[in-house]
């Protein structure tokens, strides 16, 4: 405890020192400001200082520091005030009242400003500038002048000119607020971070800009001098207003070019020149007593400053908004480029096309050229133009976001796949379509490869299924061949008889023809499995397909002693599909069901194959077996690739069947059934309109 106490003493002293820095500086400036004002008063009989700096100093000091330290500033300012006022012989009572009103001005102003303006940049928006003017130029000085007017009343020992005094006190504070206040806030409030110790690093100002500032300042000074002086000497009265306006363009230039900083600097400059010339040379405003001269000057300054300050703030606000927008655009552009997305916009009335640079590169268009919507359409692959256009038209129609994918052909003949999202905007006079383009070539290429591979796998599994059924094929062919042989030999004998038995021989030959067709059918059916072609959708009679499948499996059924019962709906339901692939699914599912009942008692070696119309729009096919069913563990993994319960199974069957059915717009399921086995079922969307070929 003792160590830290000892260590903390120098730190506490340092802290105290830091805290006293501000108030002492403020007090010094207070004193200097007061002295400066008095000094101006001594220089001439014609005018005195048109504003009272110490108030502004105190106001700024309080505004820029935390309220808990305000008592320090007031405390420090008091001796400064006392010294300054005593040096001009002000009475104690007036001195105190003056101090009270000065503090009141600073305190009220600071409280209101901190509450309403909240923080730098003090003149960042028009609203803030208006509030500043309201607080420090209108309300507070008016209020404070009520008390402040008593100071000269006490000196004069008469309340006769109370309102004149009030006006003088008011203007003195108000003019200080516009002439000195903003500059002080800029100097101390932003660049050096005020008295809190924050640092705000200002960017490097280019030499060109500094030169411009200096030139402008010099020009302004010269113009002011010329204008104020000339207006007082031999110029006809009707030209006076024009002459007075001479500094205005330059002040406005400062406000527009440099925002509120420029505005407040220009105002201060004009005020200084006015005071300087007022002290020394002939100027317009000097026509009567010092008080009225100063009145005139104060009114002129106030009238000039308030709009210019507000303009400066408005300019600042606009610039800031522009900056924000620019930054936001840069961020978006960066994000878009990172995501390989480009942005485009077409103005529907002029057909002009705006495209980010990235987009121009994507389409292979010139970065500088002016583009129209035809440049965009022209970049699209001729085969895709029609559908792309349809989608864009649809987007323009109902205002929803439209998406489509199409190919573009770059000038170097490279073809890329692009995904486009578009929407319309109808905002009054504007009618635009805007959207994004992103390059999806890699994905498309991968998708195409996957599709090709899926076809390959489907074909391979068909071939392997074929080899599984090859014994059956041989058997199915042997039967008709045997019948043909027997018929042929019988016919031979019949024709060799005396007399030949022509009728019977003819019947035998007819049977041979029939058997040949039968053999042909078998070959045709099995050859269908070997086909490797792209998916083709045509009308398929589901029940006929089931029958055909059962015929393919005829030998297999006998071999394995499995009986298949059928229950087909009478209507011959049609679906749109690829015959070969659907047959593959049926074969797979029936073979699976046969495997499931392998080795069971004959009463359980019965499968049921049924078709029915499920509802208006779909056809359902079910294959039910009475095997041992699916275990819960199996059920989860059923459709996953490479899952199999067979010893020599590849495990592709069910996942492939599932994807084939999905491709057809249907769904495949495998569930346990009431007889203890499992039922495989799939639905396909029904096609009512076309007749089966």
Q: What is the DSSP letter of 209?
A: H
Q: Is 229 in the site for another protein (CB under 8 A)?
A: no
Nearest distance from C-beta of residue 495 to another protein, angstroms? 10
Backbone angles phi, psi at 607, to 5 degrees: -110, 155
DSSP 400-453: S-EEEEEEEE-TT--EEEEEEEEEEEEETTEEEEEEEEEE-HHHHHHHHHHHHH
User: What residues form DSSP beta bridges with 434?
Assistant: 345, 423
CA–CA distances in Å: residue 168 to residues 55, 100, 112, 165, 171? 15, 17, 23, 5, 5
Nearer to another protein, 183 or 477 (CB): 477
Residue 229 or 511: the one with the smaller Cβ distance to another protein is 511
Residue 97 neighbours by CB distance under 10 Å: 19
Piece of 53-61, 66-74, 254-262, 552-560 that binds another protein (CB under 8 A) = 552-560
Nearer to another protein, 559 or 662 (CB): 559
By the 8 A CB rule, do 83 and 325 touch? no
Contacts of 468 (CB under 8 A, 6+ apart): 591
Please identify, among the stretches 196-204, 335-343, 421-429, 513-521, the one whose residues bind another protein according to the rule CB under 8 A: 513-521
Contact status, residue 621 vs residue 682, Cβ threshold 8 Å: yes
Nearer to another protein, 96 or 507 (CB): 507
- 521 lies in the binding site for another protein (CB under 8 A): no
Choosing from 41, 147, 378, 514, the residue that interacts with another protein (CB under 8 A) is: 514
Binding window for another protein (CB under 8 A); candidates: 143-151, 169-177, 371-379, 514-522:
514-522
Select 405 or 504, whichever has its Cβ closest to another protein.
504
Q: Is 565 an interacting residue with respect to another protein (CB under 8 A)?
A: no
User: From CA 162, how far away is CA 307, in angstroms rounded?
Assistant: 30
Closest distance to another protein from the beta carbon of 476 (Å):
9
Distances (CA, A) of 669 to 444, 590, 644: 30, 14, 16
Quick one: which of 494, 550, 576, 613 contacts another protein (CB under 8 A)?
494
The beta strand positions in 533-617, using DSSP E, are 538-541, 563-567, 574-577, 606-615
The distance of closest approach from Cβ of residue 489 to another protein in the complex, given in angstroms and rounded to an integer, is 4
Q: How far is the CB of 556 from another protein (least distance, A)?
A: 11
Q: What is the dihedral of CA 120, 126, 131, 132, to 10 degrees?
A: 60
The stretch among 171-179, 197-205, 506-514, 621-629 that binds another protein (CB under 8 A) is: 506-514
Nearer to another protein, 375 or 504 (CB): 504
437: alpha, beta or left, given left = phi > 0 and alpha = psi -120 to 50? Answer: beta
Dist CA 184 CA 141 (whole Å): 18
Provide, rounded to whole angstroms, the least separation between the CB of residue 600 and another protein.
16
Quote the CA–CA distance of 526 and 496 in Å, as a whole number: 38
Q: How far is the CB of 559 from another protein (least distance, A)?
A: 7
| Nearest-approach distance from CB 629 to another protein, in angstroms | 25
Output 16 or 474, the one with its CB closest to another protein: 474
**459 vs 626, beta carbon nearer another protein:** 626
Mask: binding to another protein, 32-61, rule CB under 8 A, as x and -? ------------------------------
Q: Give the shortest CB-566-to-another protein separation in angstroms.
A: 14
Q: What distance in Å separates the CA atoms of residue 34 and residue 29, rounded to the nearest whole number? A: 8
> Which residue number, 67 or 559, has a Cβ lying nearer to another protein?
559
Q: Where are the beta strands (DSSP E) in 200-318?
A: none
How far is Cα 679 from Cα 624, in angstroms, rounded to an integer? Answer: 4
Q: Rounded to the nearest 5 degrees, what angle is found at the Cα of 166, between the Cα atoms of 161 and 170?
A: 150
Q: Is 515 in the site for another protein (CB under 8 A)?
A: yes
Q: According to CB under 8 A, which one of 77, 274, 313, 508 is a site residue for another protein?
A: 508
Nearer to another protein among residue 555 and residue 658 (C-beta):
555
Residue 493 contacts another protein per CB under 8 A: yes
Candidate residues 46, 192, 352, 518; the one interacting with another protein per rule CB under 8 A: 518
- Nearest distance, CB of residue 656 and another protein, angstroms: 30
What is the distance of C-alpha 150 from the center of its chain? 61
Cβ–Cβ under 8 Å, residues 354 and 345: yes
CB of 640 to another protein, least distance (A): 36
- Site for another protein (CB under 8 A): which residue of 320, 352, 444, 563? 563
Site for another protein in 451-490 (CB under 8 A): 471, 474-475, 478-487, 489-490
Rg (CA), the chain: 49
Nearer to another protein, 335 or 493 (CB): 493
Q: Is residue 180 classed as helix, strand or coil in its secondary structure? A: coil
Of positions 35, 347, 403, 511, contacts another protein by CB under 8 A: 511
Q: Which is nearer to another protein, 79 or 471 (CB)?
A: 471
Spatial distance between the Cα atoms of 109 and 56, rounded to a whole number of angstroms: 10
- CB-nearer residue toward another protein: 93 or 558: 558
Segment holding 13, helix H or strand E:
helix 2-43
| CB 178 within 8 Å of CB 309 | yes
- The number of residues that bind another protein (CB under 8 A) is 30
Q: Using an 8 Å Cβ cutoff, are 391 and 433 in contact?
A: no
In the bound state with another protein, the residue whose beta carbon lies nearer, of 572 and 602, is 602
Give CA–CA dist 684/668, Å, rounded.
Answer: 9
Minimum Å gap between C-beta 497 and another protein is 8
In the chain, % helix, strand, coil (3-state, to 5) comes to 65, 15, 25
Asked if 561 interacts with another protein (CB under 8 A), we say yes
Tell me how far apart the 2 most distant CA atoms of the chain are, in Å: 170
Q: Cα separation of 50 and 192, whole Å?
A: 28
Q: CA 652 to CA 649: how far, in whole Å?
A: 8
Only one of the segments 7-15, 165-173, 445-453, 500-508 lies at the binding site for another protein (rule: CB under 8 A); that segment is 500-508
For another protein, the closer of residues 306 and 505 by Cβ is 505
Q: Which stretch binds another protein (CB under 8 A): 6-14, 291-299, 559-567, 641-649?
A: 559-567
How many Cβ atoms from other residues are within 10 Å of residue 3's Cβ? 7
Least Å distance between CB 563 and another protein? Answer: 7
Which of the ranges 385-393, 443-451, 507-515, 642-650 carries the binding residues for another protein, by CB under 8 A? 507-515
Cβ closest to another protein, residue 495 vs residue 663: 495
Give the residues lining the site for another protein (CB under 8 A): 471, 474-475, 478-487, 489-490, 493-494, 504, 507-508, 511, 514-515, 518, 555, 557-559, 561, 563
């Amino acid at each position: 405890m003792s160590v830290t106490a000892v260590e903390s003493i120098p730190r506490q002293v340092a802290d105290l020192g830091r805290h006293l820095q501000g108030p002492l500086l403020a007090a010094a400036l207070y004193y200097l400001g007061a002295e400066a004002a008095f000094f101006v008063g001594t220089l001439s009989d014609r005018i005195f200082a048109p504003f009272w700096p110490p108030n502004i100093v105190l106001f700024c000091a309080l505004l820029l520091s935390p309220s808990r330290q305000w008592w320090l500033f007031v405390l420090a300012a008091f001796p400064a005030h006392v010294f300054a006022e005593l040096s001009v012989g002000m009475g104690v009572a007036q001195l105190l009242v003056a101090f009270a009103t000065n503090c009141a001005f600073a305190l009220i102003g600071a409280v209101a400003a901190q509450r309403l303006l909240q923080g730098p940049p003090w003149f960042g928006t028009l609203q803030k500038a208006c509030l500043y003017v309201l607080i420090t130029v209108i309300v507070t000085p008016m209020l404070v002048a009520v008390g402040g007017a008593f100071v000269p009343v006490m000196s004069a020992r008469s309340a006769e000119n109370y309102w004149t005094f009030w006006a003088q006190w008011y203007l003195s504070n108000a003019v200080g607020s516009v002439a000195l206040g903003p500059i002080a806030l800029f100097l101390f409030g932003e660049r050096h971070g005020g008295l809190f110790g924050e640092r705000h690093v200002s960017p490097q100002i280019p030499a060109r800009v500094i030169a411009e500032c200096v030139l402008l300042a010099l020009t302004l000074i010269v113009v002011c001098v010329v204008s104020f002086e000339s207006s007082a000497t031999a110029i006809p009265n009707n030209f006076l207003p024009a002459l007075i306006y001479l500094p205005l363009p330059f002040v406005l230039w400062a406000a527009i070019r440099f925002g509120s900083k420029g505005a407040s600097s220009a105002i201060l400059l004009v005020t200084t020149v006015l005071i300087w010339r007022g002290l020394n040379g002939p100027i317009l405003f000097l026509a009567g007593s010092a008080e009225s001269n100063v009145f005139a000057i104060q009114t002129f300054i106030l009238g000039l400053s308030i709009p210019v300050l507000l303009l400066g703030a408005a300019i600042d606000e606009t610039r800031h908004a522009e900056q924000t927008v620019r930054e936001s655009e840069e961020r978006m552009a960066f994000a878009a480029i990172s995501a390989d997305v480009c942005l485009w916009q077409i103005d529907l009335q002029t057909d002009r096309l705006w495209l980010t640079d990235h987009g121009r590169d994507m389409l292979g268009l010139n970065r500088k050229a002016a583009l129209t919507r035809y440049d965009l359409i022209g970049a699209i692959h001729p085969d895709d133009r029609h559908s792309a256009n349809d989608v864009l038209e649809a987007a323009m129609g109902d205002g929803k976001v439209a998406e489509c994918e199409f190919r573009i052909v770059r000038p170097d003949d490279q073809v890329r796949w692009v995904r486009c999202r578009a929407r319309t905007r109808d905002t009054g006079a504007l009618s635009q379509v805007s959207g994004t383009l992103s390059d999806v070539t890699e994905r498309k290429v991968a998708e195409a490869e996957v599709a090709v591979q899926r076809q390959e796998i489907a074909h391979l599994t068909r071939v392997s299924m074929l080899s599984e059924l090859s014994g059956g094929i041989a058997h199915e062919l042997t039967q008709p061949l045997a019948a043909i042989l027997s018929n042929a030999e019988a016919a031979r004998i019949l024709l060799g008889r005396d007399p030949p038995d022509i009728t019977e021989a003819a019947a035998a030959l007819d049977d041979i023809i029939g058997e040949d067709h039968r053999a042909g059918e078998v070959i045709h059916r099995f050859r269908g499995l070997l086909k490797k072609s792209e998916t083709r959708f045509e009308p398929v009679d589901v029940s006929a397909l089931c029958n055909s499948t059962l015929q393919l499996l005829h030998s297999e059924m006998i071999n394995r002693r499995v009986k298949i019962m059928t229950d087909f709906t009478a209507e011959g339901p049609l679906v749109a599909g690829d015959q070969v692939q659907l047959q593959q699914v049926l074969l797979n599912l029936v073979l699976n069901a046969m495997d499931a009942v392998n080795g069971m008692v004959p009463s359980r070696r019965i499968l049921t194959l049924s078709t029915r119309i499920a509802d208006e729009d779909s056809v359902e096919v079910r294959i039910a077996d009475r095997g041992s069913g699916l275990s819960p563990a199996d059920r989860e993994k059923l459709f996953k690739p490479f899952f199999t319960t067979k010893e020599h199974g590849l495990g592709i069957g069910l996942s492939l069947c599932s994807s084939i059915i999905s491709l057809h717009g249907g769904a495949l399921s495998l569930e346990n059934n009431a007889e203890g086995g499992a039922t495989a079922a799939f639905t396909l969307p029904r096609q009512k309109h076309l007749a089966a070929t």
